[in-house]
Amino acid sequence: MAFKNTPERLDQIDRYLKKEINAGTYTNKKAKEDLKAAWNLINKRITALGLRKKANKIIAGMGYTANPGELLDSPQITKVKEWLTKNEVDLQGKKVVDNYALADELKKIYKLKDRGAGVKKATYLKSYASEIFDDVEIVKGKVFKYLKENERSLSWLARKCGVSPVTVHYWAIGKNTPTNKHKVEIYKATGIMIKGIKL
């Protein structure tokens, strides 16, 4: 029997998820059975409630990722963890990997069709299997590659752009996007034209 997603129904789901996750008794299988709801809906409600990290931690303790049925010690996840360990680099005291390099590796591991699918898989794993990253952050694009190859730091680029290293760090991990003014400063410092730049 399918239920309509009325406000009352969503409230019922939310109350259940809060209770189970906060009690540490949540499982994907039990939630689907108890709520008679699709995984996609349950997943969206967990995220909307701000309980994603807490739910992931409970599930990881049972040996799973947040993707129903995917084991944390599956051959694919094991390969991802091994790759991260071998390819992480230190950038301003942070452990980071390049998103394109990771995407290319995920393409091979999961037999995906292209790099774009690898990027999506990286985002998915970072959100729903965050434990495998062990504080390694994914940084984006050519600017990171330039800094690494030229032994430059985030602080160096921050000085060139007139911003704090934290701001540059947020640009690197995709949390924020540089303004056009800062894209121009990045171009002047590195010669790299970021998408959308207006000179």
The mean per-residue pLDDT over the stretch 87-113 comes to: 84
Domain ranges of the chain: 7-61, 75-139, 141-190
- 1 — pLDDT class (breaks 50, 70, 90): very low
Q: Give the N- to C-terminal CA distance of the chain in Å, as an integer.
A: 58
Q: In what order do the strands lie in the sheet with 137-139?
A: 89-91, 94-98, 137-139
The predicted structure's pLDDT at residue 56:
77
Q: Given a cut of 70, is residue 158 above it in pLDDT?
A: yes
- 63 — pLDDT class (breaks 50, 70, 90): low
* Least confident range of 65-69, 101-105, 164-168: 65-69
Gap between the Cα atoms of 154 and 160, Å rounded: 10
**Token pair in block for residue 187:** 């171009």
Q: Given a cut of 50, is residue 189 above it in pLDDT?
A: yes
At residue 70, φ and ψ (nearest 5 deg) are -90, 115
Angle (CA) 74 78 83, round 5°? 150
Q: Is 183 exposed, middle or buried (0-12, 13-18, 19+ CB in 10 A)?
A: buried
Where is pLDDT greater, at 66 or 118? 118
Gap between the Cα atoms of 19 and 31, Å rounded: 11
The mean per-residue pLDDT over the stretch 149-164 comes to: 85
Look-up: residue for tokens 């996750």? 21
Beta-carbon contacts of 118 under 8 Å, excluding residues fewer than 6 positions away, are 102, 103, 104, 105, 106, 107, 110, 112
Q: Is 105 exposed, middle or buried (0-12, 13-18, 19+ CB in 10 A)?
A: buried
Beta-carbon contacts of 71 under 8 Å, excluding residues fewer than 6 positions away, are 63, 64, 65, 77
